[in-house]
Structure 1
C-alpha cells in the first residue's frame, strides 16, 4: 500500500539519521544472572516482562533492514531498564521482543510500579526517537514459584519466566477480547444535532456512543492497566461508531433527507499504523456519493503531540469525507501548522473552557478570530449549558453541538432551522 511504502521510505531515512547521530552506548552495568536470584529463604520470585509489541510485523515488512530497527529499539529498552533496576535486581533479553526482569523485593506493588514506569519510559523514548516504527510496549508482573521455573541455567530461567508471563498476558487479552466483543454487540450510538450558527439551522449530527454504552466503557477503561488494551478498546469503539454512522446516513439519504454526519475518531486509535489501516479499510467501503456528507474529527491527542503526527492522520482520513477537523486546546495551539494541510476546521471541547461565561467568550473569540484568519471553521462540541452556548454564539463559533442545542437522537433528521434564545437576542 502507498501509505506503508511511504512510511518505509521515511523509516529508512530515519535509520540513517539515527545511525549517524546516536552517541555510543554508555558502559553497561553489571547484569546479575537470573539464576543468582534464587535464595533459600523464599520459594517464589517476583518477575516481570517488558514486551515490544509489533516487532514481528516490522521484521516481516523490512526484511534485511530489520536488524537495524531491532538494534535501536532494544538498545533503548535495555538502557532504560538499566537506569531503573537496582544492583539486587536482574534482567535478561529473551527473543526479539521481550525482556525478563526479576526483582529482589517480594513487594508486588513495588514490582508493578517499577515495571510500569520502565515500560512507559521505553514507549515515550520509542515514540520520540523512532516515530515511524510504531512499536507499542506492554508489561506483565506476577509472583512465580522457583520450583516451576528453575530448570537449569539463566537461559532456561529466562525462557520459562517469559513463557509463564506470556501465557498470563494471553489469558488477560482473551478476557479483554471477550469483553470488547460484548461491548460492540450491545453498544448503542446516538446522534447529537450540530447547529450551524451563520445559517441558523441544525445542518448535521455528531455520531456518539449512547450514555449507557459510554458509562459501561468508562467503567471498564478505569480498570485497564496496559496502554495496548486501552488503545484496542478505543479502536473497537471508533470502528463501531463509523460503521453505525454510515448506516444511519444511508437511511437518512434513502428517505430523501439530507444532513452532514460528523464522525469522531480518537487519535490513539490511529497512531499505530496497523490499527489505522484497519480503520481505513472500513472507510474504503464508504460509497463515493456519501463522502460529501461526511466529516471526520480527530480528537483525544495528548498536549504536546507534534503537529506532524496530527497532520499525518488528517491526511490519511481526508480522501473519505468532505473534510477533517482536529481537536485542539482552547488556546488554539498549532493552528498555523495544521492550516497548511487544508483542514476544514478545528474543534474545542466545551469542558476545557472556563466555566465563567465572560472568560469562555473571550477564550473562544480568540480562537475563532485566529482560525478564521486561516480559513478554518471552529466547532464547539459538548455545549451542555446555556452559558457555554451563549459564549459560543457571542464568539461567533461556526458550529456548536451539545445538550444546550438539542438532546442526542436515535436517528439523524434532515436539516432544519433553529435559533437559540440565549445571548439576549444576539444575532449571528
Structure 2
C-alpha cells in the first residue's frame, strides 16, 4: 500500500486530457500573435501546454440560461491567470469555453510543466473562491510537439493544430493507462500480514494488503501513464477487490474452525467521492452480521491538512460494518484529540515514517502511545520491516505490530498462534 501512496504522489506532472472544441481566439498581449508562433517554428519542436476547465458542459446543461454568467466568470479568471504567468515570448489561444492552449518560447520542459501547473492550481483556487457553488476541475497538459507532426497551415490555425496533436498524445497515454489498469485489476492478489500482540505474545490478527507484484510493477507503470482521476478510480476498485477477497478468506477460515481478526485498509481518497463511497458501502452491507466482529477498517492515505471532519465522516460511515475503525495518523500524533468524536477503535502509524535512529523512533512512538492510551485508543504500528523498528514499537508498548520483522505476508490468514522475537 505504501507503493500506491508513492504512485499517487508521482502524478503531479501527469499529462491530462484536451478537448477538441472549436477555436475561439481571444484578444490580449500574448493571445496567439502570428509573428511569435512564426519564430517558434524556427526550432524543430515547440513546448506546448493546455489548461482545461472540466465540467463546463455539465454545468451548462444544469444551469440553462444562467450558464453564460458562470462561463464568463470562469473564462475571465482563466484568461487573467494565464496572462499573469506567461512571458512576453510565450503565446496562448482559447478554444471554446473550456480550453486554453499555451506555446512556450523556452524549450525547457520542466519550466513549462511548473508554469502550467502553477496556472492550473491558481485558477482552481480562484474558481473555488468566486464560484463556490459550482464545482469545476482544472486540468493541465504539457508535451513537446514536433512541427513535423503538425499539418501545415496558416499562422492563425497553428494553436488549433497543436491542440489536436496534444489530444493524440493524450489519447495514446489514455490507451496505455487502460491497458495497464485492466492488467492491474486482473492480476491483483491479496495477502495477509500477521499482526503481533506484544503483551500477549500472540498473532491473532492480520492486515490485508496487495501482493508484491501488484505493488511494485503494475502500480508503478499505471502511475506513470494515468491521470489523477483514473488513478483514484483504480484505487477505489482495488479497495473494493480487497474487501471482497478478505471476506472470502475470512469465510474459509471460519468454516474450517479457525478464528482471526483482519484489518482491511481503505484509501481515504478512494472514498471522498459520494458515488464511489456508496459503491464501497454496498459491498460492506453484504458482509454477514456474524463476520463483522472479525473486521477492522483502517482509513489511510489522507493528505496532510485534510479536515478531521472528513476523516470522521468516512470512519462513521464504515463503523456499522465492522468491530471498529482505525485512522492512520502521523507519528507526531497531531490533532489526535480531534478524532475522539468518531469513537474509533484505534489509530495506526506507518513505521517507515519514523526516524531511522532507534532512540528517536522509540521516543516518538512512546509519546504517541501515551497520548492514544489516554484517549482509550489502541495503537497499531504497521510496516515494521526491521528488528530496530520492531523493538521500538515493543519498547513504546504499542498494542499491535506488523511487518516483515514479525513475519512475511501469507496467502491466507490462520488461527491464533504464539510468537516471540528471535
TM-score normalised by the shorter chain: which range applies?
A: 0.7 to 0.9
Kindly state the Cα deviation for residue 80 of structure 1 after the two structures are TM-superposed. Answer: 3.9
Cα offset for 1:277? 4.4
Among residues 30, 33, 49, which one is paired with 2:31 in the alignment? 33
Counterpart of 2:145 in structure 1 is 143
The alpha carbon displacement at 1:72 in A equals 6.6
After TM superposition, the structure 1 = structure 2 runs for residues 13-412 of structure 1, keeping only pairs within 5 Å, are: 30-36=28-34, 37-39=36-38, 42=41, 45-55=46-56, 77-122=78-123, 133=135, 135=137, 137-143=139-145, 145=147, 148=151, 150=153, 153=156, 160-217=161-218, 219-220=220-221, 223-224=224-225, 226-412=227-413
Which position in structure 2 is the counterpart of 1:420?
420
Q: Distance in 2 between matches of 1:293 and 1:348?
A: 21
CA contact (8 A) 2:177 2:222 kept: no
Q: Secondary structure at the match of 1:264?
A: strand
TM-superposed deviation, 1:39: 1.0
Structure 2 CA distance for aligned equivalents of residues 138 and 265 of structure 1: 28
Query: CA 1:360 to 1:46, structure 2 compared with 1: closer, same or farther past 3 Å?
Result: closer
What's the secondary structure of 1:208's corresponding residue?
strand
* 1:180/1:236 contact within 8 Å kept: no
Shift of the alpha carbon at 1:126?
A: 6.7
The CA deviation at 1:56 is 5.1
> Residue 278 of structure 1: CA displacement?
4.4
Q: Is the 8 A contact 1:54 1:136 kept in 2?
A: no
Encode CA deviations 1:293-343: one digit per residue, 9 max, x unaligned.
Answer: 222212222333332332333334334333221111111011112111222
TM-score (norm 1): 0.77
In 2: Cα distance, 1:363 partner to 1:145 partner: 56
CA 234–174 in structure 1, closer or farther in 2 if over 3 Å, else same: same
Q: Secondary structure at the match of 2:342?
A: coil
Contact 1:49 1:101 in 2 (8 A): yes
Deviations along 1:177-229, whole A, 9 cap, x unmatched? Answer: 11111122122221001123444432221111122322214542663575345
Q: Which has the higher contact order (CA 8 A, sep 6+)?
A: 2
Query: Are the counterparts in 1 of residues 285 and 321 from structure 2 also a CA contact under 8 Å?
Result: yes
Query: Does the 8 Å CA contact 1:344/1:377 hold for their aligned counterparts?
Result: yes
Q: Distance in 2 between matches of 1:354 and 1:404?
A: 17
Q: Which runs of 5+ in 1 are unaligned?
A: 1-27, 423-428
SS in 2 for 1:380: strand
Q: What is the number of residues matched between the two proteins?
A: 392
Three-state SS of the structure 2 residue aligned to 1:180 is: helix
Q: RMSD between aligned alpha carbons?
A: 3.6
Range with greater deviation from structure 2 (117-126 or 107-116):
117-126
Deviation at 1:255, TM superposition (A): 2.4
CA distance in 2, matches of 1:393, 1:64: 65
Q: 1:308 to 1:136 in 2, by over 3 A?
A: farther
Post-superposition shift, 1:395? 1.9
Confirm or deny: 8 A CA contact 2:54 2:137 kept in the other structure: yes
Deviation at 1:274, TM superposition (A): 4.8
